[in-house]
Amino acid sequence: MKALKTGLIFFIALIVFTGLRAQTADEIIDKYVAAIGGKDKLNSIKSVYIESSIEVMGNEASSTTYILNGKGYKSETDFSGQKIIQCITEKGGWMVNPMMGQTTAEELPKEQLKGSQSQLQVGGALFNYAAKGASVELQGKEDMNGVSAYKIKLTTKDSAIITYYIDPTTYYTLKAVTVINANGQQMETSIGFSNYQKTDFGYVVPMTQQLNLPQGISLTITNKKVEINKEIDPKIFEMPKS
């Protein structure tokens, strides 16, 4: 009887210990990948095409985004006839911003590219992070609007730091904070993700993003249309000649 009682206590303790065992960063990332579609699904995505609306300082603009997985990212945003274009590739990037007096394409600074090239990758920087030369560190949990989110710090091969906050229930990313050094100063950009929806292809994407830029600029991006594996001409990522 005593042996049975001891064995029962050990069994209960084992269950409790297993339930309380802290997850590793890799286990959390694996669950994140599974939540947004799974490794096989993500690897089969060649392109993503997105039509969105952007609200900034009471003004609304339309935006189109083209992603050729691992090769090119391009966004075109139309503010009352003035088109802002940002393009990022494996090798560099360029931008046209007529609202800043920039009417021809100019190369993006290398420091700015460090925190932006993760946009080339479907699934984000966490997916296959080691193969991309990045490292991760689980930094415990932090409250995110009432959710005790996992906090994972990712350091890219170019030393950019992206901190992800992941919902422990859904394993969706709630927020990502990117820190880069530009001209000797740290610059921080944060993106809040919400309203996750599954596309017809099975890839799950956040349909709403709250983007907070340096200098206190805040944008709300609402995706209206998402197409997977739409044909995209690689030439659109080439920097126009002046």
153-198 per-position pLDDT tens digit: 999 888 889 999 999 999 999 999 988 776 667 778 899 999 999 9
Q: CA-CA distance, 31 to 10, in Å (whole number)?
A: 30
Q: What is the pTM of this model?
A: 0.85
- Residue 231 phi, psi (nearest 5): -65, 125
Q: CA-CA distance, 209 to 229, in Å (whole number)?
A: 22
Q: H/E element holding 27?
A: helix 25-35
User: For residue 213, which amino acid is it?
Assistant: L
B/e letters for 35-47, b = 16+ CB within 10 Å, e = fewer, are: bbbbeebbebbbb
**Neighbouring residues of 13: CB distance < 8 A, sequence distance ≥ 6:** none
Q: CA-CA distance, 198 to 68, in Å (whole number)?
A: 20
What domains are defined for the chain? 23-237 (2.50.20.10)
The distance of Cα 66 from the centroid of its chain, to the nearest Å, equals 15
45-74 per-position pLDDT tens digit: 999 999 999 998 888 999 999 999 989 999
| DSSP β-ladder status, 161-166 and 135-144 | unpaired
Identify whether the C-beta of residue 66 lies closer than 8 Å to the C-beta of residue 236: yes
